[in-house]
Amino acid sequence: MFVCLLPFQVLGQSKEELQALQQQIKQKQQQVAKQLAKAKALQGELKQSELKIASAAKALNSTEQELKANQEDQRNLKKRQSEIQSKLAKQQETLAKQIRSAFMTGNYDYAKMLLNQESAAKFERTITYYQYLNKARSELIDEFRMLGEELTEINLSLIVKQDGLQNLLDRQQAQQATLTQGLRSREQTLSKLQSAIESDAAKIEELQANEQNLRKAIAEAERLAALKPTTFDGLAKLKGQLLMPADGRVRKLFGTKRQGQVRWKGIIVDANAGSNVVAIHHGKVLYADWLRGFGLVTVIDHGNGYMSLYGHNQALLHQSGDTVSAGEPIALVGQSGGQSSPNLYFEIRYKGDPVNPTQWLKL
C-alpha cells in the first residue's frame, strides 16, 4: 500500500513545488513591472531636469560666445586707440614744426615787396610757398581733427563695451547658478531612478525599451527624410576619413555585450562637459529632442541611407530641418539620459542598421 502511494505523494510534492515556483515567477514579474513603472515616472522627472539644464547650458554657451566677441572687440578698439594716439602725437609734432617754420619765415612784408618792385619771380615763388605751406597745414589740421573725433568715438565705445562686459559677466554668473541648481536636481532624480531599477531583469527590460524608442525615432526620421529627399551624397566614399564628433577618449564598445543579450550599437567618447559636439560630415538635422535612455539626441541625414546619431548631450545647438556643415558644432557634451559622467554616445547607421563607427572615423 505504501509503495503504491509513493508516486502519488511525489507527484503531489512536484505539483506543489511547481505552483510555488510559478508564484515566485509571478511575484518577480510583478516586482519588475513595479520597478519599471516607477522608473518610467522618474524618467519623466529626469527629462524635465535635463531639458532645464539644456536651456541653461545653451544660454550660458551663447553668453560665453558674446563674452569672447566683446573681449575681441575691446582688443581691436584698444589697438586702434593706441595707433591713433601714436599718429596724433606724430602729427602734433609735425604741426608744431610747421607753425615754427611759418613763424621763422613770417618776416616778409608784402607791401614793401610790391613798392620796392622786387623780382616778380621771387615774389611769385614766395606766394606759392606760402600757399603750399598753408594747404599742407590745413590738411594736417583736418586729419588731426578727424583722428581726434575717431579717438573720442573709440573711447566711448570702450566704455560701452566694458559696461556690456560687466552685464555679460553678471548674466553668466546667474546662468551658471541656474545650471548648477539644475544639475543638483538631476542628480537627486538620477539617484532615485537607479534605486528604482534594482534587478538585472528590470535593467535589461529598461535597455530594451530604450532601444525600441530609439528605433522608433530613427524610423520616424527616415520616414520624414523620404518625404523630402536630400541631395547629399552619403558617406560611402569616406570610410576611415570622417571627423571625430568630439575630442576625448574613445571607448570602442560597438558589438560588445551591454546587459543580458543587449549589445552596444555605437561608441562612447569621454569628453569635457560643455565642449563642442561637431557634425562628422555635412547633412540635414532630422531629429533634435530628448529621448528616453539617450537624453538629448541629434540625428543627421547624410544622404543615400546614411545617418549619424549623437546622444547624451547637455544642449542641442540646431533644430530639426537645419542644414549643417562638416565640423560645425551641433551640440554640447553632457550626461543626459541618466549618465553618471559627461560623454558623447555616437552611432552611424546605414538604412537603419548600425555600423561600427570606429571603421568610419579618422581616429
- The structural domains of the chain, ordered by start, are 46-194 (1.10.287.1490), 200-359 (2.70.70.10)
The residue behind cell 524610423 is: 219
> Whose CA is closest to 362, among 277, 264, 281, 307?
281
Q: In this structure, what is the dihedral angle of CA atoms 113, 117, 119, 121, given to the nearest 10 degrees?
A: 80
Task: Return the residue matching grid coordinates 557634451.
Answer: 333
Q: pLDDT value at position 7?
A: 52
Would the pTM count as exceeding 0.75? no
Q: Looking at the DSSP assignment, which residues form a beta bridge with residue 329?
A: 278
> Cell 539617450 appears where?
294
- Residue 297: pLDDT over 60: yes
Handedness of CA 177, 178, 180, 185 (dihedral sign): positive
> How do residues 298-330 score in pLDDT, each as one tens digit?
999 999 989 999 999 999 999 998 999 999 999
List, in sequence order, the alpha helices (H) in the chain. 2-104, 110-115, 120-196, 200-227
Q: Which residue type sits at 109?
A: D
Rounded Cα–Cα distance for residues 136 and 69 (Å):
40
Q: What is the DSSP letter of 238?
A: G
Q: If you write DSSP's letter for every residue of 95-147 in order, what string do you get?
A: HHHHHHHHHHTTT--HHHHHHTT--HHHHHHHHHHHHHHHHHHHHHHHHHHHH
pLDDT score of 96 more than 80: no
Tens digit of each residue's pLDDT (9 = 90 or more) over 235-278: 999 999 999 999 999 999 999 988 777 789 999 999 999 999 99
Asked whether the beta carbons of 335 and 50 are under 8 A apart, the reply is no
